[in-house]
Each structure stands twice: as C-alpha cells, then as structure tokens.
Structure 1
Amino acid sequence: MEEPARDAVATAAARRPSHPALITATTTLTWAALDARVDAAARRLVMLARPGERVAIVLGNSIDFVVTYFGTLRAGRVAVPLNPGYTADELDHVVNDCRAAVVVAEEAARTKLRSSTPPCVPPELGTATGDLPDVAPGDLAVLLYTSGTSGRPKGAMLTHAALAANHEQLDAIEPPVVGPDDVVLLAMPLFHAYGLNTGLGTVAHHAATGVLVDRFDAAASLSVIAERAVTVTVGVPGMYAAWSRQPSASAAFSSLRTAVCGAAPLAPAEAARFTAATGKNILIGYGLTETAPVLTTTAVSDRAKTGSIGRPLPGVSLRLRSAGGDVLWEDGTASPDEDLAELDLSVADTAGTDPGEIVVRGANLFSGYWPDGVGGPDADGWWRTGDIAYADGDGDLRLVDRIGELILVNGFNVYPAEIERVLDAHPGVAESAVVAVADDETGQRPHAYVVAALDPAPTPAELQVYCAGHLARFKLPSVELVRELPHSAIGKVRKRELSS
C-alpha cells in the first residue's frame, strides 16, 4: 500500500507544538494552533468541493492564506493560488480554466468575480465536520498559473510528491540553507511558486518560523526583520537592491544567517552593494514554476560568487543542449540506463561551454499543464525549460537568455502577446509590439511600441490607463509611440530590431 502524502503542518505540530509557526504584525500562531485551524479548514472544504476539485485562493500573505492553502491540501483538493491584484478579466479566465469548485477570496477580490458560479466565500468558512480523505503523494496538489505561448496563463500541475521532493533536494545541501531554528521572512507573494514552496513550504517542512509580510516596503520590512530577528530572507533582486540603499540595513540584518535570491537575475553590482551594506552574501537560485521551483543554487558551488546561478541541486539532473539536440554539458545524476561515457561532454572540462538550452530531470518536476498534462517531461523524464545558459570554467552555470519572448518581472511571467492583445483592442491603436527592457528594480519590464490608428493619436498615458483596466500592475508596459514597426517579408514584426 502506498504511503500517504506527507502533511507538513501535521508533522510540524507533532514535532514542535508550542514553537511559533507564523508571526504577523498582530498575531503569533504556534504549530499546534495552526494545525488545528488547518484541520478545521480542511473539514469545511470537503463539504464544498469533491476530491480532486480545484479551490481557487485569492488572498494576500496572511494567516488566512496559509490556513486555506494547507487545508486544501489536507482535504485532498487542489489549491489554485491566484494574484489578488488580477483584474476581473484575468480572474475570470483562470477560475473558468481550472473549473474551480469554490473560490476563497478577500473582499476586494470577491467584487471582481463576474458570477456566483463557482461560489465565492470568505476565508473564515464557519464550522463543519466533513471526513478527511487519504491523500497520496502522486495526487495533484497545486495548479500554479504561468504564462503560455498563447499569452494566456496556463496551470502547471504539481503533485504532493513534487513539492516535497524540492525540500528533500535542498536538505541534501551542506551546510543547510534553512533549518528548524530559523526565522524566515515571508514577503514574497504566496501565490507565486517561489513564495509558496521555497518560502512557506520550507518553513513548514522544517517546523521553523515564518514572518508574514503582505506588501513589500523596504523601510517597513527592515523594521520587521530587526524586530523579529529574522535569520533567513527569501527575496528577489529588487528587494535586495532596495534594502541595500536603506541606512538601517546593516543593523537590521545583524541576525541574518542566509539571504536567498531567485525568480530573476541579480546583477553582480547589486549583490556587491548588498554585501557592502550588510556584510552578508546572497545565495543565488534558479528555477521555474514547473520545477516546484528550485533547480540550481550557488549553495552547492561557491556561495560568494556573483553572476552565476550555481549548480543543480542534489537529485536534479541538468543538461545543456544545442539547437540540434547535442548534449553540450551535463551535471547531476543520470539514470542507470545512460552511459555518460558515450556522450561527448569534453567541453565541460574547458574554459567554458557554448550556450545551450537548459533541460532538466528530477522528482520535483511538474506533471504537465492543466488539464491533460501536455507540455510536461518526455518519456525519459526530461523537460526543456526554454532558458539558455552556459557553464563557466568552474562548472558553474550562467544564464544567457530565453528561447521565447517571455518577460520576467521580479520573477513573474509576462508574455508580450497578452499585452499586445489588450493594446490592439484599443480603437486608437493600429499595431503594437512588446519587448523586454532592463530594469534595475525588477530585472525586466515590458515596453510597448505602438503605431497609432487615429489622428490625434492616444497619448502613452492614455494607453497605460487603458491597460490598467485589463492587466495586473506588474504587466503594465511603458509605452512609446512610433510611426511604424519593422516587418519581415511575411509581415512578422522584427522584435530584435526594436530591442537592439
């Protein structure tokens, strides 16, 4: 008989019932108290949704989110965490796409929903006594929506086993990145894979303590870090850049043991600024929603090295493949049926490899995209990430680019086609093209080149206001009006000429 899926909260409560689990500005909740609330939420949710049905969660970084999320997992239902900042259009698409049985949302988000089907309820659902099911490791646990080739978000399917595997892979690193006595800042949005599993999931896995921050503010969060003696921060480049410019940074980070940065590339100059301001180095990680999410980290190579994304986690196999499919470089554990001696990996011993697409395999990989598993790992378990990297002379990986046009804004996926579809629907727009531009705070941001269809043309400010009615804030582009866009012979916009 298959072992049940690990219930991280129940395990933490059994190990450390009186240890602080979550801290907010007004509340401290022990693991025993959190476990009781999660159990009550699970028993309520089994009355609202059938096993395997989806529960959309539209909540900020709060105890309510944590209780609802872990309650959904314990109930054997599928959690679908969503950005509370989504517009009505975006919420409507995802709720309908995942065929949610129920939506648990804060009041502001409930007003955006266009119908009462599925029912939308507040996080405090009352009392119920529903029986809890057995949950297997291979059961679907989470749908995390990420942009696809159509420009519409699509749900990456992660099982209980995949979520747990990423923690086991991180546990194999010495010295450990996070441990049971750590106090972890949970300021990354919990609807994002990085905040959800690397942040919240890690806290539960280790029965550590999480400090919840709903909206990031550099000065305010530094006060929280100092007051709560935070030992681990999980952040993105913009957060570390903002912290390093605060005069109180050095004192606030005196208790810090580990600083983790992921979701977007961190410029070496920004890493050096943070180290100079605080005396602390930043661990760099790389991963994707589809990998639960961590694949590589400098914690397994040189923890003080900037500019690289380190090496694969123990238990993750990683290859760099050329456009023709040749293996340029490999690191990690190969399957027993593969003889690496037969592969031409000589470039791994030189001063560096040619760039190639990152292709990965591991127990932390997703099961494909909702609902039919399309786009998942191949028959041998390998999955193409769409990211390009090379290995330097030390064997550390360095990101180069993406094969597609995806824009990463603080680690959030923004697909140009989605923004272009909104802009092109404006009566004053004849044509638009959106590309990524560098941004010191967010890593990248979308920039739209727009050809006007009217005279006088709409102003950039008017178009930004229009976009704000259809797109979440992190997707909003800067706008530049141009007379024409460069086209190929078949009429396709030459975006490389725009971004060069």
Structure 2
Amino acid sequence: MARNVADLVRSAAALVPDGTALLDQRTDRMLTWAGLDAEVDRLARGYLGAGLEPGDRVVLSAPTRIETCLAVFGVLRAGGILVPVAPDSPTRVIGTVIADAGARFGIGVSGVPELTPGDPVDTLPEAGGEDIAVLCFTSGTAAGPNGVRLSHRALLANVEQCARIEPAPVTAQDTLLLCLPLHHIYGLSAALFQVAAAGASAVLLDGFHPDEVLDALGARQVTSLIGVPPMYAALLDRGAERLAKACARVRLLTSGAAPLPEAVLSGIREATGLEVHEGYGLTEAAPVVTWSLVSGTAKPGSVGRPIPGVELKLVDNDGSELPEPDESGDDNDEGRIAIRGDNLFSGYWPDGERGPDAEGWFVTGDVGYLDAEGDLHLIDREGDLIIVNGFNVFPHEVEEVLDALPGVREAAVIGVPDERTGEAVKAVLVPVGELTEEEIRAHCAARLARFKVPSVIEFAETLPHSPTGKLFRRKLRG
C-alpha cells in the first residue's frame, strides 16, 4: 500500500499512544496521539460518507487550532486533496482558488459546499504515494498564483530527509511551539508533519503575539520554536532577560521564509546562548532544501547546506552548471539555484507542467552563491532583479546596506521604470527618528556601486509582509 501523509499520525499512535500530540494554548484542549488518530479516522470515514471521493479538492481556510489539524489529516486519510488558503484572504482570492482548483468542497469557506462528516463508511481508500496530497497556490508571479502539486511521496520524503539530520531537529521528547499559519507549507509540513513523524508534541497558537509566545515558551516547557525573522526581532524587543527566562528549556530555534538580520541573530545568541538555525526552502520542495543544522553552525548570511537526500547546484541562464567555489571563497559565481530530490513537486496544476526535468532537476526562481565551505547564500528572487543601464541590482544587497544605517527599522527595495536607465532603484524605508534623503544616499554611496544607490526614496510607517514574514515587494510595486 502506498504511504499516506496521515499514516504519520497512525505510526505516532502506535509509538506513543498516550503521549501529548496537540495542545491548544488558548483553550487547553489536548489530544493524545491515540486520541488524534481515532478522531482522524472518524473524520475521514465521515467525509467519505458525506460524498468526498479520492482526488476531490477541499479548500481549507482555518486558524492554527486542533480542529484544523484534524481536518488536514482527515481529508488526507480520505484520499482528498487539501487546498489551503489564508483565513483572511479576500473573497475574490478564495473564489479564484476554488475555481482554479475545481474544488468540490470547502472547510471554513463560502462559495463551495461545506464538508461536514456524514454517516461513516467502513472502508478507507488506498490513497498515497504519487497521488496529490496538497495543492498549494503560491503568489509568485504577476500572471497569477501557481498551483503547486505536492504528492504524498514528496511530503513524506521531506519529513524523512529532515529527520536524517544529526542530531534530529524533532524527537519524541520535544515540545514544539507552532504559531505559524497552517495554510502555508512551512507551518504545515516543516512543523506539523515533522511533529507527527517524530511522535513529538505541538503547542498550537493561532497567530503570533510576542507576549503570548514568551508566556507559552515557559509555561509549556517548550523545547523547540519554529519561526520567521520578524518573530525573533519582536521577541528580542521584549528584553533579553525575559527572553532568556522564557527559553530556559528550549534547545532549538529555527528560522525560514526570509533572511534573518545579523543583528537579530547575534542578539538572540547573546540573550539565550542559543543559535537561530536558518534554512531555505520553497513550496515546490515540500519545503526544506537547506539548513544550517546540517553543519551545526549558524553562519550570518547563510542558509546552510542541503539536507540529506537533496542535491543542489547553481546554473547559468542557459542551464549549464557553474564551477565549484574555490578554496578562498573569492569570486564565487552567482547563479540560479537548481535542486533534485524525492521531495520535489509533481509540476504545476492542473497538468503537471514546468516540473522537474527528465533528470529530476528543478531550477528555482532564486539566485545565490556557495561559499568555500559549501554553504548557500541567497541573493534574491530572479523576478525581483532590477536592471539599471544593463547592470544587475539585487534588492537584498541594497536592503542589507540600508538596514545597517542607524535610524532605519526596515527597508525594501524595488525597481521602477526610468526613461533614461530603463529601471531605477527605489527604496521604501520605515524610519526610527529623523533621516534625510541626503544621509541615506551618502550612506549607500560609500558602500555600493553608483548604479545601485537608490535614486527614489520614500518613507512609510510599515512594509507589507506575508503571514510567514516574507516581504511583499509586489504590493510595493502596485
């Protein structure tokens, strides 16, 4: 029988039946692994009794709560395809996802029949393996969202690849605080599915609130926190002493989805004695690709090395592989990141187009370089590249310089049309105190080539971010 992602729950129930599986921080509701498995089974049989058929798409829009986890595993055990969307998505966006996915049912959404359990059936389908388990619509392109087809095989492969890191990032003795949204593959696979695979415990918290997270870390004796850079910056702002006390039992802090500023990394280390281990991933890889846990060293600016079972190389625009980095680490070529592994997706919805090539390689839209030790450094998304008079400007490079300027809380850089140069560099800054455009340009001119210095500067109270902390440059362009 092909393996199903929901089998993780069944295996955990056999391994640690009385162990705490899920605990809701706000309601104190708790399920053991045996209890969770029984509830998932009941839901799956009820969903099938209500008319769900294997391969049906189910749009799920729900908060990070026990009920959502039950629905996730229940739909998957019944052979359905989960289509997660953010609970705060506009009605228009949810309607587009429903239409594009051809969804028959929904949970927590309007515009499609609500999936509620009916009379339970006796037999569960043998869904798994190459069958699609999750259909994630990403917002990566101007042409509209791409539906990423993730099979049971891909999701289980990534869980197993992460578990092969030594020491393992999640064990049966761990309690993980999960406040990431479950509609994003980061929270769904890199957190929830890994907890299930290890038979660990997850404390669920719907949404990130620094004080609530700090309280939960201590009160629930949390040993692992999975987060994104804005979370760690906010926790650090609450004071080093309070953070250190809250992290008394924590052994592992991990971060992904966006670059972690060096000041935050060093601040967390000084306050707690813990490193924040960064990783790199994408929905198409289910999602983890690299992690600093592989080497065991958190290196500022690096997202680590490929996890076991994942291959990575850098390629030129024509697809040819770039040379290995030299021993000095100087003059390392920047290239497009290509990856290969059993965790890769099955192409884009609906027909599986633009997936891995005949040799299993998938060229991402990310640009980076490898240092002399083989650690990956991200530069930017290929689509965010700004071209000024034919010269390439990567926004993240300019943002790093701006972030280092006292008086700048956060910076975003985008390209804007320019009649003379084709494109110009525009910086949008969230200031702390008084800053002038002249001071900003002088700071950049001392550290960047002239064509990289922002010619357009704007100030804002906040910058737009995704639920996982990723900067939404597309909204700034709009």
TM-score by length of 2: 0.79
State which of 248, 264, 268 in structure 1 corresponds to 2:258. 264
Aligned to 2:160: 168
User: 1:319, 1:327 within 8 Å by CA — same for their partners in 2?
Assistant: yes
Quote the Cα distance in structure 1 between the aligned partners of 2:373 and 2:83. Answer: 40
User: Is the aligned partner of 1:312 residue 2:314?
Assistant: no
| 1:195 aligned onto 2:197 | no
Contact residue 173 and residue 314 of structure 1 kept, 8 A:
yes
Answering whether residue 129 of structure 2 is matched by residue 137 of structure 1, we say yes
Q: Which residue of 1 aligns with 2:15?
A: 15
RMSD: 3.3
Write out aligned runs for 1:350-429 (5 A): 350-352=328-330, 353-405=332-384
1:439-458 paired onto structure 2 within 5 Å: none
1:328 maps to which residue? 322
Question: 1:19-41 deviations in whole A, cap 9, x for unaligned?
Answer: 00001132111011111111111
Give the gaps of 5 or more residues in structure 2: 386-394, 397-413, 416-423, 432-455
> Could you report, residue by residue, the CA deviation over 1:192-248 in whole angstroms, capped at 9, with x for unpaired residues?
011000110110010100000101100111101110010010100001111112132
Q: State the SS of the aligned residue for 1:368.
A: coil
Q: Are the equivalent residues in 2 in contact too, given 1:405–1:435 (CA < 8 A)?
A: no
Show the 5 A alignment for 1:159-238: 159-238=151-230
Distance in 1 (CA, whole Å) between partners of 2:471 and 2:255 is 21
Structure 2 partner of 1:35: 37
Cα distance, 1:82 vs structure 2: 1.0
Contact 1:48 1:102 (C-alpha < 8 Å) held by counterparts:
no
SS in 2 for 1:386: strand
1:89 corresponds to which of 68, 92, 116: 92
**Separation in 2 of the partners of 1:438 and 1:376?**
37
Could you tell me whether the CA contact under 8 Å between 2:368 and 2:376 is conserved in 1?
A: yes
Q: Say whether the 8 Å CA contact 1:8–1:205 is kept in structure 2.
A: yes
Question: How far has the Cα of 1:262 moved from its partner?
Answer: 0.5
CA offsets 1:128-149 (integer angstroms, 9 cap, x no match): 3353101231111100110243
The amino acid across from 1:96 in the alignment is A
Cα offset, 1:175, TM superposition: 1.4
- Change in 2 beyond 3 A, CA 1:49/1:214: same
Displacement after TM superposition at 1:350 (Å) = 4.1
Which residue identity does 1:16 align to in structure 2? V
Q: How many residues align?
A: 411
Change (3 A) 1:173 1:309: same
Superimposed CA distance per residue, residues 308-330 of structure 1 (whole angstroms, 9 cap, x where no aligned partner): 0111111111001122433124x
Q: Does the Cα contact within 8 Å between 1:85 and 1:473 map onto a contact in 2?
A: no
CA distance in 2, matches of 1:14, 1:385: 38
Q: Distance in 2 between matches of 1:219 and 1:478?
A: 31
- Aligned mates of 1:479, 1:170 — CA distance in 2: 33
5+ long unaligned stretches in structure 1: 330-344, 409-415, 418-432, 441-448, 450-459, 481-494
In structure 1, the residue corresponding to 2:247 is in which secondary structure? helix
Over the matched positions of the two proteins, sequence identity in percent amounts to: 41
1:4 CA drift (Å): 3.7
Q: What does the per-residue CA deviation read over 1:280-304, in whole Å, with 9 as the maximum and x for residues that have no partner?
A: 1111100001100000011112423
1:295 matched to 2:289: yes
SS in 2 for 1:283: strand
Q: Tell me, in whole angstroms, the C-alpha distance in 1 between the residues paired with 2:168 and 2:3.
A: 26
SS in 2 for 1:226: helix
Counterpart CA distance in 2 for 1:439 and 1:290 is 32
8 Å Cα contact 1:78/1:141 also seen in 2: yes
The question of whether the paired residues in 1 share the 8 Å contact of 2:355 and 2:362 is answered with: yes
Q: Secondary structure at the match of 1:14?
A: helix
Secondary structure at the residue paired with 2:339? strand
**Cα deviation digits, residues 69-118 of structure 1 (max 9, x gap):** 0011100111111100100011000011101110011xxxx4xx3x4xx3
Q: TM-score, normalised by structure 1?
A: 0.76
- Residue 369 of structure 2 aligns to a residue whose secondary structure is strand
Q: Shift in Å at residue 476 of structure 1?
A: 7.9
Cα distance, 1:405 vs. partner? 2.9
1:270 Cα deviation after fit = 1.0
Partner of residue 53, structure 1: 56
Which of 28, 44, 47 is the matching residue for 2:46?
44
Residue aligning to 1:249: 243
Q: 1:5 is aligned with what amino acid? A: N
- C-alpha deviations, 1:336-385, integer Å up to 9, x for none? xxxxxxxxx4x444424211110000000001111101121111110011
Cα pair distance change 1:478/1:300, threshold 3 Å: closer
